[in-house]
Structure 1
Amino acid sequence: MGGLGDSSGIIRIVPSNEASWEDLQAILTGPAARCQCQRQRLGDRDWWYLPVAERSAILREETHCDDPRATETIGIVAYIDDEPAGWCAVDVRSVFGRVRGSPVPWKDRHEDKDDESVWAIACLIVRKGFRNRGLTYPLVAAAVEHARARGATSIEGYPLVTEGKQVIWDEMNVGPVGPFLASGFVEVTHPTKRRVVMRKDLSS
């Protein structure tokens, strides 16, 4: 996916199968280490009862880390000056069980939840020490291109409205609104005070 430079360093973003498993685990620290990016995919109930080791095993199988020739993967990994710094879970929307099963993203919407041409950005994690550098902006932009290259006709995000307030990173794993706006997403619905459903059309 290439790289870009700014005052924060050289940013390089790759499909997660082109990253090492050790690099991905370096990003997933704190609550993210316990989650292993499985809550959005499995849904709350199945995720809650699954041991962390099993969540990790599922993630490793899904990402195909350390296998650059793999034809499938479920996300992208960002590096800053070759240090692992960020992760984005991006895949077909229907595979995210928590998104599919929650009433929030579907409020005031009537569409096929199983439409495989619609992708979703379900999680954005920036490693401690690399935060507040704007890394979510290139991550969202790269996720869009990742989905487009794999046949998506549109892509969604479910960012949090911060209203200029400081929000802990545990809450921000869906990302803030700004990076989605910068990548051309538009609001579809505003189902709760703090959550927005946003979409970008990729068909043209």
Structure 2
Amino acid sequence: MTSPARTTGSAAISVVPANEASWDDLQAIFGTRGDAARCQCQWFRVAPAEWRALPVDERADRLREQTGCGQPGARTTSGLVAYLDGEPAGWCAVEPRSVYVRLLGSRVVWSGRDEDPSDDDVWAVTCFVTRVGFRRRGVSGALAAAAVDFARERGARAIEGYPMITVPGQRISWGELYVGARSVFADAGFIEVSRPTPRRAVMRVDF
């Protein structure tokens, strides 16, 4: 699956499964400093008791195995990589919801809902990373839209996200927006199904 290029202003954005991208491209997106570089997209996949004891190098090793970067023939991968005018620009984590162990006890995910947390047919978008210098250019929107097709093509019956609700004039750091903004999911066709906290929503597409 390679998404058709989307044009945002004068920029063309394409999205590929992470196994079709190189590891160097993904690491260029994460950078060498900041939350993305330290986390290596392992926060939701690791139990709280294990998190602090897990070195960054080990987190990176796990991500490399999960994504299968540079292995276009791999049967599975754990996310999508966006390119803007051919340059690596963004990452989105998307897999069956059940692989994200930290979601199992999340009030944001389950408040007021009665679903089976182990249902592998429901997928989740848990994280976005946009490379420094590429923000506010439509990268997250392209990734969210591609995630819907990615999950559908792999047999999901639904896909969810847990975005931040942004308010004009309210100060929000880029670190907080790693879950995505509500508007990004809405533009990709997700419908709000619950609002467990004043600042977070559950958004979903049922196939």
Give the TM-score band, short-chain normalised. over 0.9
Q: CA deviation at 1:71?
A: 1.1
Residue 186 (structure 1) aligns with = 191
Instruction: Give the Cα separation in 2 of the matches to 1:98 and 1:130.
Output: 29
Question: Is residue 130–residue 139 contact of structure 2 (8 Å, CA) maintained in 1?
Answer: yes
| TM-score, length of structure 1 as denominator length | 0.96
Which runs of 4 or more aligned residues in structure 1 lie more than 4 Å from their structure 2 counterparts after TM superposition? none
Residue matched to 1:127: 131
The reply to whether residue 50 of structure 1 matches residue 54 of structure 2 is: yes
1:69 CA displacement: 0.9
Tell me how far apart the structure 2 counterparts of residues 9 and 83 of structure 1 sit (CA, whole Å): 11
CA distance in 1, matches of 2:28, 2:104: 29
Q: How many residue pairs end up in the alignment?
A: 202
Distance change in 2, residues 1:40/1:46 (3 Å): same
Deviations 1:142-172 (A, max 9, x none): 0110100100000000000111234211110
Q: Is the 8 A contact 1:8 1:133 kept in 2?
A: no
> Does the aligned pair in 2 maintain the 1:43–1:101 contact within 8 Å?
no
Letter in 1 for 2:175: D
SS of structure 2 residue aligned to 1:101: coil
Name the residue aligned to 1:146.
Answer: 150
Unaligned runs of 5+ in 1: none
Over the aligned positions, Cα root-mean-square deviation in angstroms equals: 1.1
Flag structure 2 segments of 5+ consecutive residues without an equivalent.
none
Report the residue type matching 1:25 in the other structure: Q
- Which aligned pairs between 1:4-23 and structure 2 lie closer than 5 A? 4-23=6-25
Q: Which residue of 92, 113, 116 corresponds with 2:117? A: 113
Alignment of 1:84-103 (within 5 A): 84-103=88-107
Secondary structure of the structure 2 residue equivalent to 1:196: strand
Is the deviation greater in 25-34 or in 96-105?
Answer: 96-105
Q: Percent identity?
A: 52
Which of 85, 107, 110 pairs up with 1:81?
A: 85
